[in-house]
Structure 1
Amino acid sequence: MSREFNIDYVFSFIPKMLSYLHITLFIVASSLVLGLIIGLLVALPRMYNIPFLKRVSQVYVSFFRGTPILIQLFLVYYGLPELLKLVDINSSRWDVLWFAVATYALNSGAFISEIIRSGVGAVDRGQIEAAQSVGMSGYQTFTRIILPQALAVVVPVFSNLVIGNLKDTSLAFTIGAMEMTGKSQTLGSATQHFVETYIALSLIYLVISLIVQKLFKVLENTLLRHEHRDSVQKEPAKRKGFVVRYLRSPRLSKGGKGI
C-alpha cells in the first residue's frame, strides 16, 4: 500500500533515475545499430526475391512484429542460453544487459527491414533505370539516387521506431536489467511512494521522447528542403531542354511551317 502522496518525492526521484539514463540510452542506441544491420540483411532477400531466404525473412518479420516484446525478452533470456549450450557456450556469466540488447535488436531488425523496403520502394523505378543507363554503378545509384529520396520517406517512421524502442526498454527490468524503470521499482519499494515514482519516470520518458521527436523533425525538414532545392534547380534545366527540343523540331527547321 502506497503512502500519502508527496510531490517532493517526484523531484527527489528524478535525479536518482537519471543516473541510470545512460543504460537506457545504451540499450536503445546499440539495439538500433544492430537492428539496422539485421534489417538490411533481412530486407535484401525480399527486395531481390531470393526464394528460400525470402521465406525465412518473412517468417522472422512476422514473428517479431506479431508477438509482444515482453515474450521476446523471456524467450531470448531463457531460450538463448539453452541454444548456446548445444555448442558448448556457457552464458551464465553474461551480463543480463546483453540479452536485453539482443532482444531489442532482433525486434528492431524486423521493423527496420520493412522501413527499408518501403523507403526503397517509394523511389521511382524510372530514376534507377535512368541512372543505370548513363553508366552509374550500383553503389552510385544507391548513394546518389535511392538513398537521399528513401531517407526523406523513412525518417518519420524511423522516428516512431526510436521512440517506441525507448518506451519498450521500460520492460528490460523484468529480466533484471537495472535501467531507469528498474531503479524506479527499487525506489518505490524502498519508500512506498509508488505514485511519485511513476510520475517522475513518466516525466523523464516524456521529455526524452519530445527531444527525439524534435531532432528527427529537424532532420526530416532538412532532407525535404534539400530535395525541394534539387527539384527547383532541375526545373529550369527541364524547361531549357524542352525549348531546345522544340526549336530543333521539324516544324521550325528549314521548310517547316512552325505554329
Structure 2
Amino acid sequence: MGNLFSVEYMIKVFPQLLGYVHVTVMVTVVSAVLGILLGAGIAIVRLKKVPVLNQLLVVFISFMRGTPFLVQLFLIYFGVPEIMSHMGISTKHIPGLVFVYAVFTLHIAAYSAEIMRSSIDAVAVGEKEAAKSIGMTELQSYVRIILPQAFTMSIPPLTNLVIGMLKGTALIFNVGVVDMMRKADLMGGNSQRYLELFVDAAIIYAVLIIIVSLLGRLLEKRFTVAGRTARPVLISEE
C-alpha cells in the first residue's frame, strides 16, 4: 500500500470519479423539480382540505418525514417491484434508476409540501383579495399572485432541502446503482486506497453544494426583485 496518503493517486483517479458525477446531478435535479412541483400541488390540496385526499396526504407526509431515507429507498427499490410481480406486472424492463428517482421525488415532495403550505399561508390576505377584486379566477390568482410569492419565500428552505437530497444521493450505491460513491468504493476495493478516493468524492460533493447554494441565492434575489416590480402592476389594475 505504501505511504498513508498519496496526493498523486488522488489526482490520478479524480477524473474517473468525475465521470460518474452526472448520475448524482441527474438524480438531484430531476427529483428536485418533480418533487417541488408535486409538493406545491400537495400543499394546495391540504390548504383546500379536500375530503379523504387531505387525510391520505397527511399520512403520506408523516410517513416520509418520520422514517429514515434509507428505509424508504429499500422499500421502493425492492418492495415496489416485488408487489408488482405478485400482481403479474413485470418490472424487468424498468431501469433501477427509475425507482431511485421515485423515492427521491416523493421524499422531496413530502418536505416541500409543508414548506410551500406555510409559505402560501404567509402570503398577505390583501394580495388574495386584490386578485379577486380585479376579476381573477382562483386558478389565475394562484398562478400569477400567490404561488410566485410563496415560492420566493420558500427558496431558502427549498435550497437546504435540495442540498440535503444531494448529500442523500451518496446512499444510492446501497441498491447497486453505480454513481460516484459506488465507483469510489469499487476502486477502493481494488487499490486499497479508500482515503484518497473518498477525499476526492468529498471535494466533488462540496463543489456541487456550493453551486446549489449560489443558484439558490441567485433565484431568491431574482424572484424578490421581480416580485417588487410586479406588485405595482396589480395595484394599478385595481
User: Does the alignment reach a TM-score above 0.5?
Assistant: yes
Residue ranges of structure 1 left out of the alignment (5+ in a row): 238-259
Give the Cα–Cα distance (whole angstroms) in 2 for the partners of residues 42 and 153 of structure 1: 17
Q: CA deviation at 1:45?
A: 2.6
- 1:141-180 per-residue CA deviation (whole Å, 9 max, x = no partner) reads 1233212311220111111111111110110000000011
Give the Cα–Cα distance (whole angstroms) in 1 for the partners of residues 2 and 16 of structure 2: 20
Matched with 1:101 is 101
> Aligned partner of 2:102: which letter?
A
| 2:132 aligned with 1:132 | yes
> Aligned partner of 1:31: which letter?
S
Change (3 A) 1:37 1:215: closer
* TM-score normalised over the length of structure 1: 0.84
Matches within 5 A, 1:191-202: 191-202=191-202
Q: CA deviation at 1:37?
A: 4.0
Give the Cα–Cα distance (whole angstroms) in 2 for the partners of residues 3 and 64 of structure 1: 45
Give the Cα–Cα distance (whole angstroms) in 1 for the partners of residues 203 and 107 of structure 2: 26
Give the Cα–Cα distance (whole angstroms) in 2 for the partners of residues 74 and 151 of structure 1: 31
Give the Cα–Cα distance (whole angstroms) in 2 for the partners of residues 145 and 98 of structure 1: 34
Give the Cα–Cα distance (whole angstroms) in 1 for the partners of residues 11 and 198 of structure 2: 12
Q: CA deviation at 1:135?
A: 0.9
Give the Cα–Cα distance (whole angstroms) in 2 for the partners of residues 135 and 100 of structure 1: 44
Q: CA deviation at 1:212?
A: 1.1
| 2:30 aligned with 1:30 | yes
Change (3 A) 1:34 1:88: farther
Matched with 1:60 is 60
Matches within 5 A, 1:1-259: 4-229=4-229
Q: Which runs of 4+ in 1 moved over 6 A?
A: none
Give the Cα–Cα distance (whole angstroms) in 2 for the partners of residues 29 and 78 of structure 1: 23
Change (3 A) 1:73 1:213: same
> Aligned partner of 1:181: which letter?
M
- 1:196-249 per-residue CA deviation (whole Å, 9 max, x = no partner) reads 111100000000100110111011112222334456x68x98xxxxxxxxxxxx
Give the Cα–Cα distance (whole angstroms) in 2 for the partners of residues 212 and 79 of structure 1: 32
Give the Cα–Cα distance (whole angstroms) in 2 for the partners of residues 226 and 107 of structure 1: 30
Give the Cα–Cα distance (whole angstroms) in 2 for the partners of residues 38 and 139 of structure 1: 16
Change (3 A) 1:230 1:95: closer
Residue ranges of structure 2 left out of the alignment (5+ in a row): none
Give the Cα–Cα distance (whole angstroms) in 2 for the partners of residues 111 and 2 of structure 1: 47
Give the Cα–Cα distance (whole angstroms) in 1 for the partners of residues 140 and 45 of structure 2: 21
Q: CA deviation at 1:99?
A: 1.7
- Does structure 2 retain, via aligned residues, the 8 Å contact 1:3–1:192? no
Q: CA deviation at 1:58?
A: 0.6
> Aligned partner of 2:18: which letter?
L
Give the Cα–Cα distance (whole angstroms) in 1 for the partners of residues 46 and 94 of structure 2: 34
How many residue pairs are counted as aligned between the two chains? 235
* TM-score normalised over the length of structure 2: 0.90
Give the Cα–Cα distance (whole angstroms) in 2 for the partners of residues 42 and 141 of structure 1: 17
- 1:97-150 per-residue CA deviation (whole Å, 9 max, x = no partner) reads 112111111111101211221221110122212211221122331233212311
- Does structure 1 retain, via aligned residues, the 8 Å contact 2:116–2:151? no
